[in-house]
């Protein structure tokens, strides 16, 4: 029996735009610009690692205390956006897919780097749908380490070869591949070329596509 593991940002909702606004404000305060293109580097990456990448871009060195302070500032602003989220922000095709999986009694878990994942899922009304939620609070190693997906597989009582991971970030696709799971990449073919299957967007996650995956 196959099971599914969903990434959150970029697969279920597009929170990248809110991360971007909060990181950009932080960069402005630190005196440098942060572009949307540079924001691509932060997708799927943990909060702490995101700050390190941002500081590298701005060529800024800070004490550990200051970094902790800025992480809190960034997250507070990010949560202001998250708190306004509704089910309208669920990406195309996802609700239909979740309905189909429920109908077929196929279990599915979250496998996200975000420590805010439970709150985001509650805001968009999907928290109770998942058999398991594995997020940034449960892992010590970030993607591409497969830890997050291995924990999810365990919680779903599934062997890696029966897990299908839906991911938008290269690090996530790599984590799924290392775990021996099937990887479905959502996004740019060139960036996600290591994925077993690549779809341009979640709208292409059709029931027919999923039926072919689970036979
Ligand atoms: P938080 P995902 C990731 O979510 C985001 O893609 C990434 O940009 C973010 O830095 C990371 O979560 C941590 O998020 O600050 O909320 O703990 O794609 O793994 O669902
Ligand atoms: Mg993602």
What pTM value is reported for the model? 0.95
186's tokens: 């959502």
Apex CA 119: angle with CA 93 and CA 107, to 5°?
50
Are 20 and 7 in a shared domain?
no
Tell me how far the alpha carbon of residue 167 lies from the centroid of ligand 2, in angstroms. 6
Rounded to whole angstroms, how far apart are CA atoms 150 and 44?
17
- For the stretch 141-200, pLDDT in tens is 999 999 999 999 999 999 999 999 999 999 999 999 999 999 999 999 999 999 999 999
Residues assigned a catalytic role: 7, 9
123 pLDDT exceeds 90?
yes
Among the three residues 47, 82, 117, which one is the final residue of a domain in this structure? 82
We report the CATH number of the domain holding residue 121 as 3.40.50.1000
We report the CATH number of the domain holding residue 23 as 1.10.150.240
pLDDT band of 215, cuts 50, 70, 90: confident
Are 41 and 119 in a shared domain?
no
Residue nearest to atom 3 of ligand 1 (CA): 44
- For the stretch 84-112, pLDDT in tens is 999 999 999 999 999 999 999 999 999 99
Tell me how far the alpha carbon of residue 198 lies from the centroid of ligand 2, in angstroms. 14
Residue found under tokens 């979740």: 98
Residue nearest to atom 12 of ligand 1 (CA): 114
Q: H-helix or E-strand containing 164? A: strand 163-167
DSSP state of 131: S
Are 112 and 180 in a shared domain?
yes
């Amino acid at each position: 029996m196959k099971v599914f593991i969903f990434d959150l940002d970029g697969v279920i909702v597009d929170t990248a735009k809110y991360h971007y606004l909060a990181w950009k404000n932080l960069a402005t305060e630190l005196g440098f610009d942060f572009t949307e293109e540079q924001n691509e580097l932060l997708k799927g990456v943990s909060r702490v690692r995101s700050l390190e990448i941002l500081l590298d871009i701005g060529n800024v060195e800070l004490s550990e205390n200051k970094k902790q302070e800025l992480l809190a500032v960034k997250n507070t602003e990010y949560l202001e956006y998250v708190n306004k989220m509704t089910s309208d922000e669920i990406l195309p095709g996802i609700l239909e897919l979740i309905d189909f999986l429920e109908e077929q009694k196929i279990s599915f878990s979250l496998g996200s780097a975000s420590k805010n994942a439970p709150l985001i899922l509650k805001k968009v009304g999907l928290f109770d749908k998942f058999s398991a939620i594995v997020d940034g609070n449960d892992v010590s190693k970030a993607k591409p380490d497969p830890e997050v997906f291995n924990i999810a597989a365990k919680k779903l009582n599934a062997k890696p070869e029966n897990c299908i991971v839906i991911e938008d970030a290269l690090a996530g696709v790599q984590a799924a591949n290392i775990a021996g799971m099937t990887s479905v990449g959502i996004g740019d073919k060139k960036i996600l070329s290591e994925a077993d299957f690549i779809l341009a967007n979640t709208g292409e996650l059709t029931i027919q596509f999923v039926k072919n995956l689970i036979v």
